[in-house]
Structure formats: structure tokens, C-alpha cells
Amino acid sequence: MHRFLLAGGLLLSAALIAPVVARADDRDHQERRYYDRDARDYHSWNGDEDRAYRAYLQEQHRDYRDFHRVKRDQQREYFRWRHEHPNNTLFKIEIR
């Protein structure tokens, strides 16, 4: 009888914890939006925006840090740079 109570308690714990873990995982994969005060627009953080951010960091000779952890002044610098470098000029590949 003691084993059934222990097993039942473990199953109940797993059932209560599973939705919390699933929700945390969804939050990690959720697309974030950042407001650019200077340009008065939103930037959706997705794969393209992340590639542009990495190109910006490389151009500025900076180490990678998650964008949401960077200070607001640095975010504003990136947004200014981003508006000067639209998608079509960032990733040109020349084939010769």
C-alpha cells in the first residue's frame, strides 16, 4: 500500500509540474517585439533580426550578448544601425 501512495504522489507531482515546464518552453520560443522610440516602430525578434544583430555586433567588434540583456542605449544604437541597413543589403552573396 505504501508503494501505491508513493507512486501516486509522484504521478500527481509530475502532472502538476508538466504544464509549468511546457509554458516556460513556449516562452523561450516565442517571438519578442521591441519598440524603437526613435523610429516609432516595433522590431519583431526572429531569426532574421538575430542574424542582423550578429552582423551589427561583428561590425562593431563586440561580443555577443542576448539582446534583451543589453542596455537600452545599446539597443537604440542597434535600432539606428538596423534602419540604415535594411534586409536586402545585409546578406548579399556575390557569386563570381
- Of 6 and 75, which is predicted with more confidence? 75
Beta bridge partners of 83: none
Tell me if 10 is assigned to some domain.
Answer: no
Taking the chain, what is the end-to-end CA distance rounded to the nearest angstrom?
A: 76
Sign of CA dihedral 41, 44, 45, 51: negative
Count the neighbouring beta carbons within 10 Å of the beta carbon of residue 77. 14
Domain assignment present for residue 43? The answer is yes
Does residue 51 sit within a domain?
A: yes
Whether residue 9 is contained in a domain is answered as no
Evaluate whether residue 47 is within a structural domain: yes
Residues 77/70, Cβ–Cβ less than 8 Å: no
Q: Is residue 25 situated within a structural domain? A: no
The residue range of the domain holding 52 is 33-90
Cβ atoms of residues 42 and 35 within 8 Å: yes
pLDDT tens-digit map of 19-64: 765 555 555 567 899 999 999 999 999 988 999 999 999 999 999 9
